[in-house]
Amino acid sequence: MKIAIAGYGVEGEANYRYWNTPENQVVIVDESQPARDIPVDASIIVGDDAFTKLNGYDMVVRTAGLALRKIATDGKVWSATNEFFAKCPAPIIGVTGSKGKGTTCGLIASILQSAGKTVHLVGNIGMPALDILATIQPDDIVVYELSSFQLWDLEQSPHVAVVLMIEPDHLDVHTNMHEYVAAKSHIAQHQSVGDTIVFNVTNQYAQQISELSAAKKRGYQTADFAHVSDGYFWYGEQKLCSVDTLQLAGAHNQDNACAAINAVWEYTQEGQVIAEGLAAFTGLPHRLKFVRELRDVRYYDDSIATTPGSAIAAIRAFDQPKVVIIGGSNKGADYSSLVDEIMASGTMRAVIAIGEQGPVIAELLKERGAGKAVNVQVSHSMQEITTTASACAQPGDVVILSPACASFDMFKSYADRGDQFIAAVNGLE
């Protein structure tokens, strides 16, 4: 079979390893020279219009972030996600949403592991799915973090679909919000009556997607399913454990925990097992992670927060006065709700505006009169950012890197941004 590997990042590498077999003729195709090392015996085609000249290939394997409209071929367009779903022998719990996917996947996996299950965590949070496909057994469980890019052309839905809060995101790649939600809807569209869909009942897009599913429906934070009441996690009328069992800050993470409890309910219904799983998961890198306390100021890295909604959740996670670092590259977001939150919070000490969108957000805040109530400053390097934040903070405050934007104007990735923040904070004296 003649196969084009379209896009050569981390997933493209895994795709090449998987399909590069003696019976296949595999070519790597990309718009620019890949940054990753190319196998010495690999064929490669590079050019601005490379994706538009793929006629003659039996299959084009699309990397997740490559828009379908950019590919022109007379062959089959396929993806690692489609291949994994088609070949995986174990049940799959798939999780999507604009924020909280990684945390919810981590909580699900932790609870299942506490229940004695063999769990495989794949997607952006874990291993490339195809790299571990051959190791998965029918009695295992796969937890798959699914972005809109992975779901875009998915032909099969997971046994358990989890749809978290959805807000405008990736509109620099998707043509509009309708296309973004339509892509995410594939997590539910192919489900059957024997499947389950878990969804955020307060989010119109999550509700809309749940209505496309034929599966059993479990809305979280509802009285019939997983919810929080009187300081405890419950499932229906069954009390499970104290919310203090959860090692993650913020009401949004209680929501994520409820989604996880709903998702695992058919595998374990024991409060003690669920409590052990919640307690064992201490969070993922760059997801509102505590970095350091210095002079009674606590610093948190939430670099994964690339949408206004995720930054709002971080702001709401703390009652203390706070200094928030916001800004980065544009993904087509509307910052008005974030500005409203900052102005209404009553606990905002300062906003450090950074990157391409920093001045835009700073101007929005100034138009709202933030100068009288909130100290707004623009900083341009991570060293300057952390020094400015430290100077603004007072004992008892929290400093949060929660940018509400992508990272690619100043950093290689959100992880690079978070790592630089951690290093700069640890270097403060």
What integer pLDDT is reported at residue 125 of this predicted model?
A: 81
Q: How large a percentage of the chain has pLDDT more than 90?
A: 92
List, for residues 14-55, the tens digit of each pLDDT value.
999 999 999 999 999 999 999 889 999 999 999 999 999 999
pLDDT at residue 118 is higher than 80: yes
What integer pLDDT is reported at residue 388 of this predicted model?
A: 97
Q: Are strands 226-229 and 232-235 parallel, antiparallel or unpaired?
A: antiparallel
Write down all domains in the chain, each with its CATH number in brackets.
2-74 (3.40.50), 83-280 (3.40.1190.10), 289-426 (3.90.190.20)
Q: What is the mean pLDDT of residues 87-104?
A: 96
Query: For 209-213, 249-253, 418-422, which range has the lowest pLDDT when averaged over its residues?
Result: 249-253
Q: Who contacts 43 (Cβ-Cβ below 8 Å, separation ≥6)?
A: 26, 27, 28
List, for residues 143-179, the tens digit of each pLDDT value.
999 999 999 999 999 999 999 999 988 888 899 999 9
State which amino acid sits at residue 366: K
Point out which residues pair with 5 in neighbouring strands: 28, 61
